[in-house]
Amino acid sequence: MHSLSQLRSGELAGITRLKLSENLTSFPLEILSLADTLEILDLSDNQLSSLPQEIVQLRKLKILFASNNRFNVLPEVLGQCPELDMIGFKSNQISVVPENALPPKLRWLILTDNQIETLPDSLGLRPRMQKLALAGNRLNTLPKTMSELHNLELLRISANQLQDCPDHVFSLPKLAWFAFSGNPFCQSSENKSSNSIDSVPHVPSSSFTLQSVLGQGASGVISNAVWNNPQTEYPADIAVKVFKGEVTSDGYPQDELNACLKVGYHPSLVQPLAQVSEKNHLALVMNLIPPHFKNLGLPPNFDTCTRDTFPAGFTLSIAQIDKMVNQMEDVFNHMHDKQVCHGDLYAHNTLFDDESNIIFGDFGAASMYHMLSNEQQQNLRQIEHRALKFFIEDLLSVCREDDKLSDAFKRLQDAVAR
């Protein structure tokens, strides 16, 4: 975090990244002094509602964050920033996206949690677009021009007002991570998932006590917990995910819970044990994952955009990769046999142990699709199958050099190429 006083004193001269959060109500023109070097500008968590025309002077600016501000309109001046390729305006009050507000090199657009009903046709005229986050708006349609986004790999449209499944996105050749729950087209008069969801018992939140936090994400906080009374029905070691109860970057927490429960038991999935569904308190009780399991990958970064990253020097043998891929393929088939699209099939959502056993989780972007036509269901399965191929490809990228001539390596390469 930087300060205006640092900027005004010249202390920040020559920096490439700037983050200012000082309850700003107007854009500090002192930022323009960094025009020759500034690449990433973060103005999130302020009170801004507009940007000045002078921002185009930041000719090296590539990334702009302005989440949690007071914008009602996506600033049209952004379309005149020649190098800008990532824009994040999450959690504003944006209802209008002007036709000319999208810069020509746009690759990553985040408009989550706003009030947008329609998007301009120019959205489909941004050929570099890879990642598009639109969850938590009021969209009732998507531009037909989106069928031209041939490089789009990740799309989030959950928690909107889409009456019809947007079939025109199914033809996108690289789309692999797709979340769409919480729209009217996802509702059905006959909820075919209700039996599997209700089969997971309900328990009161007073039946356990949360202890240390194990992790947290967009939709909630996971903690280890202990039962307040001795249990015979459940394991003694449990973890509890308490949902935040609000729209997230992936959709509604209730949809995440329902999808997780519908998928049910699989040895390579985090196992749900019970659910809590009380007023203002939604939670999932799960088996506690043994501590010897560790993260398989790290999330994408600004450069990779949609693809996982790995720690420097991290490698796997082809035998490890082969075993993990076999397990993930089985998980994939299990989920889709249950008519659930995970939406976030990644190594960074996977844990593994020294014997290459995996545990896959995080259903925040999951969507049930039993209400869709057979053709639409097959299209969704094909989309997520691309994510599975990317998963395999990412693991092969960290394969040990002396294993890259093996038959198993070539077989997995062929599986990705098909």
Helical H runs in 173-311?
194-198, 253-263
Q: What is the pLDDT, as a whole number, of residue 250?
A: 84
Summary mean pLDDT of the chain? 94
Q: What is the pLDDT, as a whole number, of residue 215?
A: 87
> Is the predicted pLDDT of residue 231 greater than 80, yes or no?
yes
279 annotated to bind ligand: no
Among the four given CATH numbers 3.40.50.970, 3.30.200.20, 3.40.630.30, 3.40.50.300, the one describing domain 205-287: 3.30.200.20
Q: For residue 335, what are its two tokens?
A: 């989920």
> Is the predicted pLDDT of residue 248 greater than 50, yes or no?
yes
3-state secondary structure of 177: strand
Domain 294-417 fold:
Transferase(Phosphotransferase); domain 1 (1.10.510)
> Is the predicted pLDDT of residue 164 greater than 60, yes or no?
yes
CB 364 within 8 A of CB 217: yes
Residues 186, 189, 192, 194: is their CA dihedral positive or negative? positive
Percent of the chain scoring above 70 in pLDDT: 97
Rounded mean pLDDT, 355-376: 96
Spatial distance between the Cα atoms of 332 and 266, rounded to a whole number of angstroms: 11
pLDDT in tens, 137-150: 999 999 999 999 99
Cβ-based neighbours of 240, under 8 Å, separated by 6 or more = 208, 210, 222, 223, 224, 225, 276, 283, 284, 285, 286
pTM reported for the whole predicted model: 0.94
> Which band of pLDDT confidence, cut at 50, 70 and 90, is reported for residue 199?
confident
In degrees and rounded to multiples of 5, residue 209 shows phi and psi of: -125, 125
Rounded mean pLDDT, 215-225: 89
Percent of the chain scoring above 90 in pLDDT: 90
The residues spanned by each domain of the chain are 205-287, 294-417
Q: What is the pLDDT, as a whole number, of residue 337?
A: 97
Spatial distance between the Cα atoms of 316 and 325, rounded to a whole number of angstroms: 12
Instruction: Name residue 316's beta-bridge partners.
Output: 399
Rounded mean pLDDT, 292-303: 96
Q: What is the pLDDT, as a whole number, of residue 198?
A: 65
pLDDT in tens, 74-127: 999 999 999 999 999 999 999 999 999 999 999 999 999 999 999 999 999 999
Q: What is the pLDDT, as a whole number, of residue 216?
A: 84
Q: What is the pLDDT, as a whole number, of residue 194?
A: 52
HSE value, Cβ hemisphere, 13 Å, CA-based, for 35: 11
3-state secondary structure of 238: strand
> Which band of pLDDT confidence, cut at 50, 70 and 90, is reported for residue 403?
very high
- Comparing 193-202, 229-238, 253-262, 408-417, the range with the smallest average pLDDT is 193-202
Q: What is the pLDDT, as a whole number, of residue 190?
A: 41
Q: For residue 235, what are its two tokens?
A: 């394991």
Pairing of strands 154-156, 86-88: unpaired
Q: What is the pLDDT, as a whole number, of residue 245?
A: 73
